[in-house]
Amino acid sequence: MEVLKKFQKISKRIPRMVRDQATSKSGRFVYKFGTFRLDRAERILLDAGENVSLTPKVFDTLVVLVQNAGRLVTKESLLAEVWPDTFVEEANLSVNIATLRKALGEIAGEHQYIQTISKRGYRFVANVVEVESESRTVAMREPRPALIANKEGTTDLHQGLNSLAVLPFDNETADPNAEYLSDGLTESIINNISQLQNLRVVARNTVFRYKAKAVDPQNVGRELGVRSVLSGRILQLGDRLIIRAELIDVSNGWQIWGDQYHRKLSDILAVQEEISEAISAKLKVQLTREEKDRLGKRYTENVEAYRFYLKGRYHWNKFHPSSLRRAIEYFEQAIEVDPTYALAYAGLADCYYRLSNVYAPTRDAMPKAKAAAMKALEIDETVSEAHAALGLIKMFYEWDWSGAKREFERAIEISPNNAMAHQRFGLYFNLFGRFEEALRELELAFAMDPLSPQVYWSFALYFFLGRKDEQAIEQIQKTLDLEGSYQPALYLLGRVYIELGQLAKAIAAFKKVLALNDAPMFLSGLGYAYARAGKYQDVRKVLNVLQEQSNDRYVSAYSLALIHLALGDKNQAFSCLEQAFENRCEMMTWLKVDPAFDSIRTDLRFANLLRRVGLDREYQVVKKFAAS
């Protein structure tokens, strides 16, 4: 956990400049801009009299920008003011800015309040008026949100805490086969609560890094930058369950709420709902009518189907192809028990997508993924996971870019805390060369899932596709610090080293990933590195092995095109790309931004491929990004 603390630790101190100015003898000031009023001393931001919930560090970032309105505030000075005497990554600042823009209601591409100065910092561009605190409105004079201890020693909230981490429930059952139950309960609560607009919920990938570790929930909350943490434990005794849950306030360690449930195993669905509703009530989250309906919603009434679903998600999260196939079996069993179980169909779609391209031909896996996603949405249009899966299918298989965009937007509309949907939407913009929009989505994903290797890898891919190779290497190293065996990062590391001309390191990276997974895609990467290094005898050996493997395993024609292009055989490379097109190879969506093809971008055959994949628009964006 030391690496995580280094990257993610959140300082409790108020920044020097903000603290000194807030306690100045000259009195307090209120800053007005647009419909907003900012009281730096009371640490309140109001929008038309309504409180806007911000985490402490996001609030401090806003104060520094507002106090320097009209002037450039460098990234270095912002980091120094908001995180004094604490080492944090620049990504933390990017997340704060993205969160601020969302809170202030900025529209993508417009900079009504915050302007980004490329490579330097930010400028607050709205007109700011500074007035004495005595002239505040009645709304501004209302009591500051506070926690007050009651007789039982718990807490009552005048206003809700606006961020939450749900730690993995401890499995106290002696049988390790019951692990799916504790993991599934945790994930179900996260998914339920994540649908609430006014509550930031840390995603599963991040919180599960604390699984089976002796951690202090208060310290975890500080590391993750949230204001409340839920922890719990589950014990199964035959057909009975004993579940304990506790919600704490990170700022002082006080218990906000705690309860113990003695239920039959058949009541697991009801317990999940009760805990979710208790959290929203105790955190005083303002719910819309639609959110209330979603929070109490059951996607199945059949407990056996629900247990199969939990087992499916448990194995899906293991990523390995054998685990994915087990997950498919469990999802299919859940559907057999309850044919109207929309979430189980969404799980199937995710499984088939994850098998596609690396372990199975896209033409085989993607139609199954689409059928499952469409069935899920036919049953229930409000399943965010199904929309996010359908977005991937439209992007990677159908090359329906506008359709993919609609699905990602709908997934996020339904579940604003769906970090995976934001991450996938960022990938969409990356592949189109729309890097500013990609960065915004990735920053939002990072804010919700700050310890996810997949999100860190997505930032690395963003740099790689934008021809920022040194930054890509740095981001890959951070990804591997989180998870040293993360295979997509190791593959990407080899690709980046090739672009840097560090071919020995590229070969070593591909060999490392092959030691973990002998998938033909990774072997093709090694062949590509050999070809770029002029190791032609080794290339031929790799091509021979791939030819043999193609008899019973999926070998990507796109990956073969890279090898032949590096060997100088453009005609054979285009032949492979044509084959990849015919096979609807997922990697064809990389054509516009993949640096491996920079040498043939002026070839009319390449332009024709771009047009047929739907990537022929806004082509110059990539070059502009590289030159910035």
Tell me the two tokens of residue 56: 């402490």
Average pLDDT on 477-505 reads 93
Q: Pairing between strand 72-74 and 114-117? A: unpaired
Within 10 Å of residue 337's Cβ, how many Cβ atoms?
Answer: 18
Q: Which residues of 224-257 are buried (b: 16+ CB within 10 A; e: fewer)?
A: bbbbbbbbbbbbbeeeebebbbbbbbbeeeeebb
Confidence at residue 590, expressed as pLDDT on a 0 to 100 scale: 94
Q: What residue spans in the chain does CATH classification 1.10.10.10 cover?
A: 2-141
Average pLDDT on 91-98 reads 81
> Which CB contacts under 8 angstroms, 24+ apart, belong to 386-390?
386/342, 386/345, 386/346, 386/349, 387/411, 387/414, 387/421, 388/418, 388/420, 388/421, 388/424, 389/346, 389/349, 389/350, 389/353, 390/349
Task: Kindly write down the DSSP assignment for every residue of 231-265, as one continuous string.
Answer: EEEEEEETTEEEEEEEEEETTT--EEEEEEEEEEG
Cα 15-16-18 angle, rounded to 5 deg: 65
For residue 492, pLDDT over 90 is answered with yes
**Can you give the pTM of this predicted structure?**
0.68
Cβ atoms of residues 456 and 479 within 8 Å: yes
425: left (phi over 0), alpha (psi -120 to 50) or beta: alpha
pLDDT, tens digit, for every residue of 408-433? Answer: 999 998 888 888 999 999 999 999 88
pLDDT, tens digit, for every residue of 196-235? Answer: 777 788 887 788 888 878 888 888 888 888 888 988 888 8
For residue 294, the one-letter residue type is R
Confidence at residue 537, expressed as pLDDT on a 0 to 100 scale: 95
Tell me the two tokens of residue 293: 């309906």
Dist. CA 336–CA 320, nearest whole Å: 24
- For residues 29 and 337, which has the higher predicted lDDT (pLDDT)? 337
- For residues 203 and 371, which has the higher predicted lDDT (pLDDT)? 371
For residue 368, pLDDT over 90 is answered with yes
Q: What residue spans in the chain does CATH classification 3.40.50.10610 cover?
A: 147-298
Please report the beta strands in 98-162, taking only residues with DSSP state E, as ranges in sequence order: 114-117, 121-124, 129-132, 147-149, 155-157
79: helix, strand or coil: helix
Q: Pairing between strand 163-166 and 200-201? A: parallel
Average pLDDT on 82-100 reads 76
Q: Pairing between strand 228-237 and 163-166? A: parallel
Dist. CA 369–CA 374, nearest whole Å: 9
27 falls in which pLDDT band (50, 70, 90)? very low
Average pLDDT on 549-573 reads 93
- For residues 251 and 176, which has the higher predicted lDDT (pLDDT)? 251
pLDDT, tens digit, for every residue of 505-529? Answer: 999 999 999 999 898 999 999 999 9
CATH superfamily, domain 147-298, is ABC-type transport auxiliary lipoprotein component (3.40.50.10610)
Q: Say which DSSP state 339 is in.
A: T
Name the helix (H) or strand (E) containing 38.
strand 36-39
Confidence at residue 291, expressed as pLDDT on a 0 to 100 scale: 63
337 falls in which pLDDT band (50, 70, 90)? very high
Average pLDDT on 386-401 reads 94
Q: Pairing between strand 147-149 and 155-157? A: antiparallel
Within 10 Å of residue 259's Cβ, how many Cβ atoms?
Answer: 14
pLDDT, tens digit, for every residue of 495-506? Answer: 999 999 999 999
The per-residue pLDDT of the chain, averaged, comes to 81
CATH superfamily, domain 300-450, is Tetratricopeptide repeat domain (1.25.40.10)
Q: What residue spans in the chain does CATH classification 1.25.40.10 cover?
A: 300-450
Confidence at residue 498, expressed as pLDDT on a 0 to 100 scale: 96
Cβ atoms of residues 93 and 78 within 8 Å: yes
505: left (phi over 0), alpha (psi -120 to 50) or beta: alpha
Confidence at residue 135, expressed as pLDDT on a 0 to 100 scale: 37
> Among 17-31, 38-52, 95-109, 359-373, which range has the highest average pLDDT?
359-373
Q: Which are the contacts of 607, defined by CB distance < 8 A and separation ≥ 6?
A: 601, 616
Q: Which are the contacts of 610, defined by CB distance < 8 A and separation ≥ 6?
A: 591, 592, 616, 619
Average pLDDT on 332-357 reads 92
For residue 90, pLDDT over 90 is answered with no
Within 10 Å of residue 423's Cβ, how many Cβ atoms?
Answer: 26
For residue 606, pLDDT over 80 is answered with yes
Nearest to 183 by CA among 204, 164, 203, 213: 204
Confidence at residue 88, expressed as pLDDT on a 0 to 100 scale: 62
Low-confidence winner among 72-81, 153-162, 321-330, 370-379 (lowest mean pLDDT): 153-162
219: burial class by Cβ within 10 Å (0-12, 13-18, 19+)? Answer: middle
Cβ atoms of residues 340 and 379 within 8 Å: yes
Share of the chain above pLDDT 70, in %: 84
Q: Which residues of 463-482 are buried (b: 16+ CB within 10 A; e: fewer)?
A: bbbbbbbebbbebbebbbeb
Within 10 Å of residue 258's Cβ, how many Cβ atoms?
Answer: 17
Cβ atoms of residues 389 and 355 within 8 Å: no
For residue 349, pLDDT over 90 is answered with yes
Confidence at residue 334, expressed as pLDDT on a 0 to 100 scale: 93
SS3 per-residue string spanning 559-625: HHHHHHHHCCCHHHHHHHHHHHHHCCCHHHHHCCCCHHHHHHCCCHHHHHHHHHHCCCCCCCHHHHH
* Residue matched to tokens 């985490």: 55
Low-confidence winner among 136-150, 311-325, 372-386 (lowest mean pLDDT): 136-150
Cβ atoms of residues 475 and 90 within 8 Å: no
275 falls in which pLDDT band (50, 70, 90)? confident
Instruction: State the first-to-last Cα distance of the chain, in angstroms, to the nearest integer.
Output: 36
Dist. CA 128–CA 138, nearest whole Å: 20
Q: Indicate the CATH number for domain 2-141.
A: 1.10.10.10
Share of the chain above pLDDT 90, in %: 37
Cα 381-382-388 angle, rounded to 5 deg: 90
